[in-house]
């Protein structure tokens, strides 16, 4: 842990000399071999802590552990596409749901930079309805969410609507939606009942966690594995399986 903190500080120092927009090779971790655009990801040091596997380490490692060949993945809240890139290594097809215009631009650039052909961008926010809704930006490009007091309008879609139209079911469902986890799951009940994908989810707050777990238990999910802490109560990131 001490060495990791030291390495992070060294990295932050050197990122001062790296211009935004420069492609940087990822040197360590599940994303090794891909390239990251400096300044695209949120966080200090131009988001480049990912190149040494210093950010989202547990979740990225767990995702790689559960991957199988030729599967379908849904990346809900894709942001600039880090998980979509990881999914693309193994998947037949990845569907990246991302509503924020700035993030979509970087997501397209990341896919082109890394010559990824099996990720389809869906420019919608995922919720429990299909309409135009307000979206509020957060403190960074990674923390926006649906909010009636939002900054601009975006289109929303439920995953049940999406699978009914496309006749596609995911094997892995990743959700990172900054506090709107419940509407996403509410709009995915048929999907969850029919295909029971493995779920990688970040949950924001004890109240939301309890409601999410209650909802998921009703559709036969039984295993709730914390990824970033030793206990469920202390965790935000989970692997959830039937």
- Residue 90 sits in the same domain as residue 210: yes
pTM check: above 0.85: yes
pLDDT for position 143: 62
- Residue 122 sits in the same domain as residue 221: yes
3-state SS, residue 119: strand
Q: Among residues 55, 72, 97, which one ends one of the domains?
A: 55
Q: Is the pLDDT of residue 120 over 90?
A: yes
- Region 3-32: mean pLDDT is 83
| 4 vs 82, higher pLDDT | 82
- Residue 197 sits in the same domain as residue 152: yes
- Residue 197 sits in the same domain as residue 234: yes
pLDDT in tens, 78-117: 999 999 999 999 999 999 999 999 899 999 999 999 999 9
Q: CA-to-CA distance for 85 and 76, rounded, in angstroms?
A: 13
Q: Among residues 32, 55, 78, which one ends one of the domains?
A: 55
Domain count, the chain: 2
CB 42 within 8 A of CB 52: no
Grade residue 138 by pLDDT with cuts at 50, 70 and 90: low
The domain that holds 188 is classified in CATH as 3.40.50.150
3-state SS, residue 51: helix
Q: What is the distance in angstroms between the CA of the first residue and the CA of the last residue of the chain?
A: 33
User: Read out DSSP for 76-103?
Assistant: ET-TTSHHHHHHHTT-SEEEEE---HHH
pLDDT in tens, 43-75: 767 778 888 888 888 889 999 999 999 999 999
- Residue 217 sits in the same domain as residue 134: yes
Residue 231 domain boundaries: 56-241
β-strands 237-241, 145-146: how paired? unpaired
Average per-residue pLDDT for the chain = 91
User: Which residues touch 89 (CB under 8 Å, ≥6 apart)?
Assistant: 67
- Residue 83 sits in the same domain as residue 18: no
Q: CA-to-CA distance for 56 and 182, rounded, in angstroms?
A: 22
Grade residue 156 by pLDDT with cuts at 50, 70 and 90: very high
- Residue 47 sits in the same domain as residue 70: no
- Residue 143 sits in the same domain as residue 68: yes
pLDDT in tens, 197-233: 999 999 999 999 999 999 999 999 999 999 998 899 9
User: Which residues touch 15 (CB under 8 Å, ≥6 apart)?
Assistant: 38, 45, 46, 48
């Amino acid at each position: 842990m001490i060495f990791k903190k030291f390495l992070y500080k060294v990295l932050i120092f050197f990122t001062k000399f790296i211009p935004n927009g420069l492609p940087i090779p990822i040197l360590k971790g599940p994303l090794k071999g891909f390239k990251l655009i400096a300044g695209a990801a949120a966080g200090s040091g131009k988001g480049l802590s990912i190149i040494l596997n210093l950010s989202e380490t547990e979740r990225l490692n767990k995702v790689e552990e559960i991957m199988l060949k030729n599967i379908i993945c849904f990346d809900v809240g894709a942001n600039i596409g880090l998980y979509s890139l990881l999914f693309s290594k193994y998947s037949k097809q990845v569907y990246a749901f991302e509503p924020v215009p700035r993030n979509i631009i970087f997501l397209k650039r990341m896919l082109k930079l890394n010559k990824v052909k099996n990720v389809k961008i869906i420019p919608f926010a995922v919720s429990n309805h299909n309409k135009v809704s307000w979206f509020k930006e957060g403190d960074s490009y990674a923390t926006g969410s649906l909010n009636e007091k939002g900054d601009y309008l975006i289109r929303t879609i439920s995953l049940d609507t999406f699978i009914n139209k496309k006749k596609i079911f995911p094997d892995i469902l990743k959700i990172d939606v900054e506090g709107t986890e419940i509407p996403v799951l509410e709009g995915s009940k048929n999907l969850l009942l029919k295909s029971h994908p493995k779920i990688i989810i970040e949950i924001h707050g004890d109240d939301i966690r309890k409601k999410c777990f209650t909802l998921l238990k009703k559709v036969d999910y039984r295993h709730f594995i914390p990824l970033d802490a030793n206990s469920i109560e202390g965790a935000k990131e989970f692997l959830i399986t039937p």
